[in-house]
Amino acid sequence: MKNILVIGSTGQIGSELTRELRKRYGNENVVAGYIKGAEPTGELKENGPSAECDVTNPEMISNVVKKHNIDTIYNLAALLSVVAEAKPRLAWKIGIDGLWNILEIARENKCAVFTPSSIGSFGPNTPHLQTPQDTVQRPGTIYGVSKVTTELLSDYYQKKYGVDTRSVRFPGIISYVTPPGGGTTDYAVDIYYSAVKGEQFVCPIQKGTMMDMMYMPDALNAAIQLMEADASKLIHHNGFNIASMSFDPEEIYNEIKKSKPDFKMVYDVDPLKQSIAESWPDSMDDSCARAEWGWKPQFDLQSMTIDMLKHLSEKLLK
């Protein structure tokens, strides 16, 4: 039996990951961890246990882990790339000081830990096309620095203390449930909202800027499938490249126009987002994830667009 704690359960990934884990393992076996001011509401609150979990407060986390006999922690506490650039110290405090607390608690309580990395862990001198699993990682953002450190610190705890740490490098994640909170790839979510509302979309990322992207159902499946994988088959543990699609603003715009022919987009490039996006891969090689734990995405740009427009129309136009 698994007893799971999701830290950051009300965020873009956490809110849907908590629902999916409860579906698979039972509502009562998945605790929704949150911070003050971002409490769970609706079914997230009603359907299972929740607890305040501030990763910068180790005693608080340790009490929740012991009270609920937690054996697996999904740690999604982080500031995203753009917000982090404005608050670098806080980004480190949550992303790394917080991670240290989680790893120590996991060591003491024999918990497995999933703390995602990102394509943001790569930098300008990383090979951009079919970025290898093992390659140069010299990111120029505090988000990227914290994600490389996340991978290395998680590997350290796995090697030195035997803590079962695992993670993937998420691409930009697209979903229709909880909007993203301050990332470079947020445009790929916002464009769908504009299309459904019948508004012109003002794109902050330049035409031709390729980035790896992924639909939320595939991202959730990747996290859970990796945590369920046979540890003896894993060569890597943290920072698996996973990929499903890669596109630039024109491609996603043209895909949406197949369903919404009157949809209009103009460009107003955000220099910070553009500089971050240009430092990230165009496409990743995810052969290690496919070989070591059977990773296989289900959605591509076409099927994601159909699903996004359907659900957002139901959500926004009802």
Q: Give the residues lining the site for ligand VAH (CB under 6 A).
A: 80-81, 118-120, 143, 170-172, 180, 183-185
CA 215 to chain centre: 11
User: Which is nearer to ligand VAH, 262 or 268 (by Cβ)?
Assistant: 268
Least distance CB 272 / ligand VAH (angstroms) = 11
Least distance CB 224 / ligand VAH (angstroms) = 19
Q: CA-to-CA distance for 10 and 32, rounded, in angstroms? A: 8
The bridge status of strand 72-75 relative to strand 112-114 is parallel
Q: CA-to-CA distance for 238 and 148, rounded, in angstroms? A: 10
Catalytic residue among 34, 143, 176, 215: 143
User: Which is nearer to ligand VAH, 227 or 276 (by Cβ)?
Assistant: 276
The bridge status of strand 4-7 relative to strand 72-75 is parallel
Least distance CB 37 / ligand VAH (angstroms) = 21
93 Cβ contact list (under 8 Å, min separation 6): 56
Q: List the one residue out of 239, 257, 77, 243 whose CA is nearest residue 158.
A: 239
User: Which is nearer to ligand VAH, 18 or 121 (by Cβ)?
Assistant: 121
Least distance CB 120 / ligand VAH (angstroms) = 5
C-beta nearest to ligand VAH: residue: 183
Contact 191, 253 (CB under 8 A): yes
Locus of tokens 């209009």: 264
User: Which is nearer to ligand VAH, 15 or 29 (by Cβ)?
Assistant: 15
**Tokens linked to 232:** 């003896």
Question: Read out DSSP for 257-275?
Answer: HTT-TT--EEE---HHHHH
User: Which is nearer to ligand VAH, 3 or 209 (by Cβ)?
Assistant: 209
Does residue 143 have an active-site annotation?
yes
Least distance CB 182 / ligand VAH (angstroms) = 7
Strand partners, 166: 114
Q: Which active-site residues does the annotation give?
A: 143
